[in-house]
Chains A and B, each alone.
Chain A
Amino acid sequence: MGIELKMPALSPTMEQGTLAKWLKQEGDRIQPGDIIAEIETDKATMEFEAIDEGVLEKILVPAGTEDVAVGAVIALISGEGEEAQPAAASVSAPAAEPAPAPAAAPKAEKPVTAAPAADPAIPAGTQLVSTTVREALRDAMAEEMRKDPRVFVMGEEVAEYQGAYKVTQGLLAEFGPKRVIDTPITEYGFAGIGTGAAMGGLRPIVEFMTFNFAMQAIDHIINSAAKTNYMSGGQMRCPIVFRGPNGAASRVGAQHSQNYGPWYASVPGLIVIAPYDAADAKGLMKAAIRSEDPVVFLENELVYGRSFDVPSMDDYVLPIGKARIVREGKDVTIVSYSIGVGLALEAANMLANEGIDAEVIDLRTLRPLDKETVLKSLAKTNRLIVAEEGWPTCSIASEIISICMEEGFDHLDAPVLRVCNEDVPLPYAANLEKLALIDAARIAEGARKVCYKK
């Protein structure tokens, strides 16, 4: 019996990859530890190492094949051992977080897209280009760096590694090490240096490998960056962007899976942006870099690889502080942001089949919060829920509920509900993680409740 070699998952969120190169040919003898192939993910190129002994009998997926699903059989090895081993592979790569293949690879969901409607006019005939969120963020930074020599990027692995999540890919080649600065692993220190550079007149973009690590640096984000303009009577500005992935990724456990939106959104003096799709990511990142105020820009690792239409324009900038109605509806409003928007749209589709017409609002900016769009929608639908990939207590959801109580009470036909993650640290086990996180079904259930339908 031969051994099946399967496409490995090389990161917690990898769903597919490119089989870049075979380093062994059919007929070659293979020893454990031999590097058989190179596999490219959206983050990095990694080496695929054999753990079995035998002869490479058949290559099933030729070099250069893109989008090979995790778990797909890519080659067969004829076993020479006494017993056939189950297929397995180990990986040696300088990964930010090496992870074994999940038992069941997550489904490659096609994101539900919505045309950017309410934003500054996109001229008729503008080409829409399918772009990943990751590329959109990079393009936004590159465009602003071309325009303004004061803009630079700093953080862990942003330059030579091309970004732990490849968001800064290619920037070093174009802008050089003066403007794309690799830092040591020293969040508190480099957040302070970035903040000081902004006070000194530069326009830093500080990347945190994840916002979980920014907790070590939160003092500079809040005490140094957010408060200085006020404390100085408007003398000393701090135009800086703190950006990086936020919220739960996939199977990385409690310390790497937290949504800091509510934390930062509670701080006067900060702008907090958490976009969902690629067009918003681009337009709002450009706005963030241009802002005279300190901006916390919350991305989401699970969304980085999703593609959306982005208008091909010289200068696509969106307004900070404006929500967007991503799906119009009349029966119930679902307010969300970041990854929650995709789930809310899915939920809306489920509800549509049941005759409930849901309106979905993407807040996009968490501070300042676009109350007006939320309240207008409430006035129309009279029922509202908030879908948030984050804890329920002291959340953006609680804030929206409070706003609806204070300023929209007369429009309410039902209590406002929040659909959030469970109020626990995020567990590792696949089943428990799934139970802890929001999903479309739970959002739809919340919507039914406020519509008093089963």
Chain B
Amino acid sequence: MAKKPAKAAPSAADDSDFILHSLQEAFEAKKRYAASEAEMLEFYRQMLLIRRFEEKAGQLYGLGLIGGFCHLYIGQEAVAIGLQSALDNDRDSVITGYRDHGHMLAYGIDPRVIMAELTGRESGISRGKGGSMHMFSTEHKFYGGHGIVGAQVALGGGLALAHQYNADGGLCLAYFGDGAANQGQVYETFNMAALWKLPIVFVIENNGYAMGTAVKRGSAETEFYRRGTAFRIPGMKVNGMDVLEVRAAAEVACAHARSGKGPVLMECNTYRYRGHSMSDPAKYRSREEVQEQRDHHDPIEGLKKTLIEAGKTEDELKAIDKAIRAEVAQAADFAETSPEPEASELYTDVLVEEY
């Protein structure tokens, strides 16, 4: 079956050599990104920042400082960091669903304004009016933070259309989960993205559960990377627990999308340690299953091992953790002490203009 990737053909129908796994093959050929020590340390720091931030968010939720829905990213850190590190931050855009804290931290957005949004304060990134699921930073080309499952996929298609329209060389990275992958609009978007060759990488973060429904109970095709086949979108299957693999895959995918060949569908297999949201008692899976993931597949522990093999010491890595804990504690302080929005903010930003 293995063939060389075909040359770009004028029309998909004429293209008998089209190989939907061409990108997978390119990725398999060089599966782990050869990161420099500095890069590895940065990945480590960023993943750990997400982990510690989310742990703190969990605590604050327990204290009643964070309300509503709060979806934690613990366990999935390698996905956002591996992909984000491959982007061109001056050009590329990102959009995701409601489990969005990790993606924002991956961008280098100040943890204080994220945490302050979680606590609903004036200094939050959405001025306290969005909350956990609705955060944006147009400055960073991060377009949210969307609460309707799957909506970000079509919206991401629109961001990609804007890249193509403006010929700015950018691409859109649209993240969604295995649950969202069953929404109809995802396939409507696949169709148009492929038809119009939009520069977009669809990333399915398959964490095994759509809320409480295991993938195999909710999906007829559980190999999500195959789900673009009907639209001739090449698929990639990636170990989302290994940041260096994700990064290597991201480079293949971005190069494809950026070169005008149309969308890529990447499935990152990952695992969330915590419940779907803070209110999830997680009755649908066993403790042992979670423990097995933590013990043997943890993305941060995995990279730590690689770093130690490369000559870093436990103490050096501990120092990084210490600094992160301090940063997160500061963010929590900031979020707790920052004032709530003025009552007058209730009426601002409904419309941009006055009529």
Q: Residues of A at under 8 Å CB distance from B?
A: 152, 178, 183-184, 186, 188-202, 204, 219-220, 223-224, 228-237, 239, 268-269, 271, 291-293, 319-321, 365, 368
Query: What residues of B have a CB within 8 angstroms of the CB of A232 in the complex?
Result: 126, 129-130, 134-136, 138, 144, 349
Find residues 146-196 in chain B having any chain A CB closer than 8 Å to their own CB.
146-148, 151, 153-163, 165-166, 184-185, 188-189, 191-192, 195
The size of the chain B interface, using a CB distance under 8 A, is 47
Chain B, Cβ-Cβ closest to A232: B136
* B128 CB within 8 Å of chain A: yes
Q: Does chain A have a CB within 8 A of B93?
A: yes
- Residue among B148, B350, B351 with most chain A CB within 10 A: B351
28 A-B contacts (beta carbon < 8 Å): A186-B188, A188-B154, A188-B184, A188-B188, A192-B151, A192-B154, A193-B154, A196-B143, A196-B157, A197-B159, A200-B143, A202-B161, A220-B155, A229-B349, A231-B126, A232-B130, A232-B144, A232-B349, A233-B127, A234-B127, A234-B348, A234-B352, A235-B136, A235-B137, A269-B350, A271-B355, A291-B352, A365-B355
Question: A184-B191, A320-B355 known; A224 and B166 CB under 8 Å?
Answer: no
The complex places the Cα of A384 from the Cα of B166 at a distance, in Å, of 51
Residue B266 interfacial (CB < 8 Å): no
Q: Which of B310-355 contact A (CB under 8 A)?
A: 348-353, 355
CB nearest neighbor in A for B131: A231
Q: Count A/B pairs, Cβ under 8 Å.
A: 154
User: Given known contacts A186-B188, A192-B189, A269-B350, is B162 in contact with A233 (CB within 8 Å)?
Assistant: no
The distance from the CB of B144 to the nearest CB of chain A, in whole angstroms, is 7
**A198 proximity list for chain B (CB < 8 A):** 158
Q: Contact between A292 and B192 (Cβ–Cβ < 8 Å)?
A: no
**Which residue of chain B has the shortest Cβ distance to A227 in the bound complex?**
B134
Contact A224 B165 (CB under 8 A): no
CB-CB under 8 A for A230 and B353, given A196-B95, A200-B163: no
Q: B185 touches which one: A189, A233, A237 (CB < 8 A)?
A: A189
Q: Decide yes or no: A236 and B144 within 8 Å by CB, A189-B154, A224-B151, A368-B355 being known contacts.
A: yes
Q: Beyond A188-B188, A196-B95, A202-B162, is A231–B155 a contact (Cβ under 8 Å)?
A: no
Given contacts A188-B188, A202-B166, A236-B136, 9 further A-B contacts (CB under 8 A): A190-B192, A193-B192, A199-B158, A224-B148, A232-B349, A233-B126, A239-B352, A319-B355, A321-B355
CB of A196 within 8 A of CB of B155, answer yes
Q: Which residues of B contact A193 (CB under 8 A)?
A: 154-155, 157-158, 161, 189, 192
The answer to the question of B125 belonging to the interface, with a C-beta cut-off of 8 Å to chain A, is yes
Evaluate contact between B147 and A293: CB separation under 8 angstroms.
no
Contact of B192 among A178, A186, A233 (CB under 8 A): A186
Q: Are B129 and A233 in contact (CB under 8 A)?
A: yes
Of all chain A residues, the one with the shortest Cβ separation from B143 is A199
Name the 10 nearest CB pairs between A and B, nearest first. Answer: A196-B158, A192-B154, A189-B188, A200-B162, A233-B127, A321-B355, A196-B155, A292-B352, A197-B158, A234-B349
Q: Are B126 and A291 in contact (CB under 8 A)?
A: no
Give the docked Cα–Cα distance between A195 and B155 (Å).
Answer: 6
Query: Using an 8 Å CB-CB cutoff, how does the interface string of B93-108 with A read, 1 for contact, 0 for none?
Result: 1010000000000000
Which residues on B sit within 8 Å (CB–CB) of A183? 192
Q: A184-B191, A223-B151 are in contact. Are A197 and B161 (CB under 8 A)?
A: yes
CB <8 Å contact, B93 and A200: yes
Contact with A along B106-147 (1 / 0, CB 8 A): 000000000000000000111111100011111000011011
Q: Which residue of chain A is the closest to B156 with respect to CB atoms?
A: A196
- Cα-based distance from A268 to B348 in the complex (angstroms): 12
Contacts of A233 in B (CB 8 A): 124-130, 349
A192 & B155 in contact (Cβ 8 Å cutoff): yes
In angstroms, Cα B185 to Cα A236, docked, is 22
Tell whether, in the assembled complex, residue A199 and residue B188 are in contact, meaning their CB atoms are under 8 Å apart: no
**A229-B350, A269-B350, A271-B351 known; A196+B154 contact, CB < 8 A:** yes
**Cβ-defined partner of A236 (8 Å) among B127, B138, B192:** B138
With A193-B154, A193-B192, A235-B136 already in contact, the answer to whether A223 and B147 are too (CB < 8 A) is yes
